[in-house]
Structure 1
């Protein structure tokens, strides 16, 4: 049964998680070792991706490597899109406790930050989208060609290196009150390790060789991580700069269809910003939204409920005239 989504108000405006405007937007600064880890997990996978060509032309790429990378990419990216984003950030559906924990773990395996940090950043993004306070707006420097170039780099990857962390007490008090989720988020290092070790172990077992361990780690670990990073970062950068805007929103969010499948439906970004709590982002004919289909399966099996599906009346109100 369809449930009409409420008016365009992100969940941080609900009474359970209303940010205290007297509190600062950012909280503590990252320590030196935390900042070093950010650099490592951004730069090393990118270097691995650059090393793809000589690896492909020499040795070390087979069907098992592609399968392992695809599986871990799908698990991680859906953990981010369905779990981190639509469930924890925007409350697009309610879920059983075991599913909430599972989504928090699989989202962590995308290696984009702990669940608490990711959600806090994204709620802050919606509170100040394309305005001062937005952690990753591509329009922060202006609209001249040079400013746009700087803004694109900042929105895509530059913001990751900002040492000022979003204030958790202001943006995610509801999640901080959940002991199980705090524990999962606090074990982020464990999920990162598992996300890198498991592809290597699986590659070794499937090929029964040390070469399989190495290629499993390279393709299913490093390269998969780099692709996952850049697809998600492209939602921050490209989807606020290029594409169609069929719905009214308070920012410059856009739909960018080439990323629809890789992003699992996240690149239908204009509707998402017009109606942040909606469980489906690709609502127009032909718009593939894999994450919405996953949520639909959860609902059918009784694992999720109170899903905020779009309705015709709601969409008609949001469309541009």
Structure 2
């Protein structure tokens, strides 16, 4: 969709680590996982298809196992899946350490202990602990089971919501599987991708360089 220079790549790498915290996903491994998902969408080789798993928990457990194999270089995936992926081994090593994930969890609990005003707010803590898996489960389960289709892609991808503020455009899965390199996930006039305006701003200030695809 776009490229950026090494300095900005490192900047966003750090932002990624601090924002994902306890549920940090190594960009290289996630990139390979995502490319596998597009190449094998809704087949048995898809790392996270709801049509080959009984429930969302089993789907994400399977995804986690494949992800771990990629991180540990134990998965013989297509060499094309590994090209042009960002990598910062130091941050990846820290992010994957169990002590790092536990430390972030302690920080979250401390933050809630100081700022939570009602007991029920602590029920949100598991979402913070597992933010990336929760997001992935919602997008890949509902985005391939519930909604409408603009395109016949040969899979079960759906647009779950016509205005996707909840998942920041990620639930336009049918559109995304049709135009995988399109920065704007919304296609129809009524479909709004809330992240795309920020991408345009980053492009305007030359933080990123948009590829010449349909935007």
TM-score bin (small chain): 0.7 to 0.9
C-alpha distance in 2 between matches for 1:198 and 1:296: 34
The answer for the alignment partner of 1:98 in structure 2 is: 7
C-alpha distance in 2 between matches for 1:219 and 1:101: 34
TM-score by length of 2: 0.75
Does residue 295 in structure 1 map to residue 187 in structure 2? Answer: no
The answer for the alignment partner of 1:212 in structure 2 is: 114
The answer for the alignment partner of 1:172 in structure 2 is: 82
Does residue 186 in structure 1 map to residue 93 in structure 2? Answer: yes
**Which residue among 152, 158, 165 is the counterpart of 2:61?**
158
- The farther-off stretch of 185-194 and 289-298 is 185-194
Q: Using CA pairs below 8 Å that are at least 6 residues apart, which structure has the higher relative contact order?
A: 1
Q: 1:93 to 1:161 in 2, by over 3 A?
A: closer
Consecutive unaligned residues of structure 1, counting only runs of 5 or more, are 1-91, 142-149, 205-210, 312-321
Q: CA offsets per residue over residues 180-226 of structure 1, 9 Å max, x none?
A: 5333323314774675465566x48xxxxxx40788x9578644344
**Which residue among 136, 153, 176 is the counterpart of 1:232?**
136
Cα deviation, residue 258, structure 1:
7.5
Q: 1:297 to 1:230 in 2, by over 3 A?
A: same
The answer for the alignment partner of 1:139 in structure 2 is: 51
C-alpha distance in 2 between matches for 1:182 and 1:103: 15
C-alpha distance in 2 between matches for 1:230 and 1:259: 20
C-alpha distance in 2 between matches for 1:98 and 1:132: 39
Give 1 or 2: higher helix fraction.
Answer: 1
Task: Trace 1:111-150 onto structure 2 (pairs within 5 A).
Answer: 111-140=23-52, 150=54
TM-score by length of 1: 0.53
Cα deviation, residue 93, structure 1:
0.5
**Is the contact made by 1:138 and 1:241 (CA closer than 8 Å) also made in structure 2?**
yes
Cα deviation, residue 304, structure 1:
0.7
C-alpha distance in 1 between matches for 2:130 and 2:174: 25
Q: CA offsets per residue over residues 6-64 of structure 1, 9 Å max, x none?
A: xxxxxxxxxxxxxxxxxxxxxxxxxxxxxxxxxxxxxxxxxxxxxxxxxxxxxxxxxxx
**Which residue among 170, 182, 190 is the counterpart of 1:278?**
182
C-alpha distance in 1 between matches for 2:43 and 2:163: 25
C-alpha distance in 1 between matches for 2:200 and 2:103: 28
- Quote the RMSD (CA, aligned, Å): 3.3
Aligned residue pairs total 200
Cα deviation, residue 137, structure 1:
1.3
C-alpha distance in 2 between matches for 1:193 and 1:213: 20
Q: 1:130 to 1:270 in 2, by over 3 A?
A: same
The answer for the alignment partner of 1:59 in structure 2 is: none
